[in-house]
Amino acid sequence: MASLGFTLRKQITALVIVWIVLQLLFLFRFGIVTQFESEKYITEAKALLQTGRYTSRNFLFYSTEILLIALSCVTHTFPWPVVAIQIIVNGISICLFYKLCFYITKNQSTAFFATLFFLLQYYYHLYNVHLFTESLYFSFGIIYTWLLFSLTRLSVKNIALLVLGLLVLYFTRPTGLFFIPSTIFFIIFKFYRRKAKLLLSALFVFGIVLLYFLLNFALNSGGEFDFLLPYLDERVICGVATISGQHRIHVPMEKNSIEGLFYIITHYPILFFSLAGRRLLTFFGVVRPFFSIAHNIFIAAYFYSAYVMIAIGFKKIITAFLPQTIYLLTNIFFVMITVMLSCDEWHNRFILAVLPFFILLASGALINKDRNNVK
């Protein structure tokens, strides 16, 4: 047992050192990034302090970052507290990710290597020094997943914690909405599996109605969002047109709505399914023609190895952890569908949001056969 304890201490120490080196590397290499997408959140925070309101309702769904920036401006400490909080929350998420890996595999070495593999995804953790919403959203997703997976029973306190977690996710990025159906599926298959069919049937209509209103609220919140634009010039990567001209697409209703999207699908099916297929390949393919060869080799090798491990261990993980697997897959599915309906992000930020879920699924290939005997 002593050797095991010593080995664990060495593993934790190694992970801490790698994590610290990464944060220092980011800070010395990039400093605190207040350009690019950061500018709109900084501008919005200043406008909020001056007027007491958002310039557009869509910024409501990015409130966590904006409010932190506003607070740092009020205390005249901008921008250090925001980045400090992002780094601290990221560190907490790494600890909990290790626990999630151990929860699945019941093997300290496997949890160590899975966490190390996670840390080595440089581009995921790089957002810690950017005043973007990604850093906190990524970290909150892991923290919430750990909270959900650690539930042994439902109680008023636990449900309140889940609701609070969902609200934080939803108001950090609008895609936090995806955690609602995945959480419901987890609870049903974790605590009410014998009644799963009945409950899913009963919740189906309610869930569709709820998602309809929440999605329409997000889509109609104003700002720079334009659901029609990716179809006009056939955008596969957001902001990158693939044709020189534009299609003539007329949507006789609010284009940024579920009805507007349904109209495009039903009236322009060839265009829609062609773009959806290309976006799907781009999403999972991860490489970009404008990336360097070295970058493409690294990110492709990274994700493709995870895909292979998922395929190898999928049967084991879904057998041992059905509720957890459904939760992870549901989150991945909704992000994938969003990309297919709109476009994929230039720097792989959409797939990076579910990277921890890919790694957790991949760890299924390394589930300890004697996990039930491990304490």
pLDDT tens digits for range 241-268: 888 878 888 887 666 667 778 888 888 8
Q: How far apart are CA 287 and CA 269, in angstroms?
A: 27
CB-CB neighbours of 222 under 10 Å: 14
Q: Name the residue with tokens 């740092």.
A: 72
pTM: 0.91
Tallying the residues shown for the chain, one arrives at 375
pLDDT score recorded for residue 201: 65
The distance in angstroms from the start CA to the end CA of the chain is 13
- pLDDT tier, 220 (very low <50, low <70, confident <90, very high otherwise): low
The DSSP secondary-structure symbol of 33 reads: B
User: How many other C-beta atoms can be found within 10 angstroms of the C-beta atom of residue 270?
Assistant: 7
- CA distances to 19, 92, 348, 356 from 353, in Å: 19, 17, 9, 8
Residue 363 in contact with residue 110, Cβ under 8 Å? yes
* Mean predicted confidence (pLDDT) in 4-28: 88
CA–CA distance, 222 with 256 (Å, rounded to integer): 9
Model confidence at 98: pLDDT above 50: yes
Average pLDDT over residues 70-92: 95
Q: How many CB atoms lie within 10 A of CB 166?
A: 17
Q: What's the pLDDT tens digit per position in 103-137?
A: 999 999 999 999 999 999 999 999 999 999 999 99
pLDDT of residue 2: 41
The yes-or-no verdict on residue 1 having pLDDT over 50 is: no
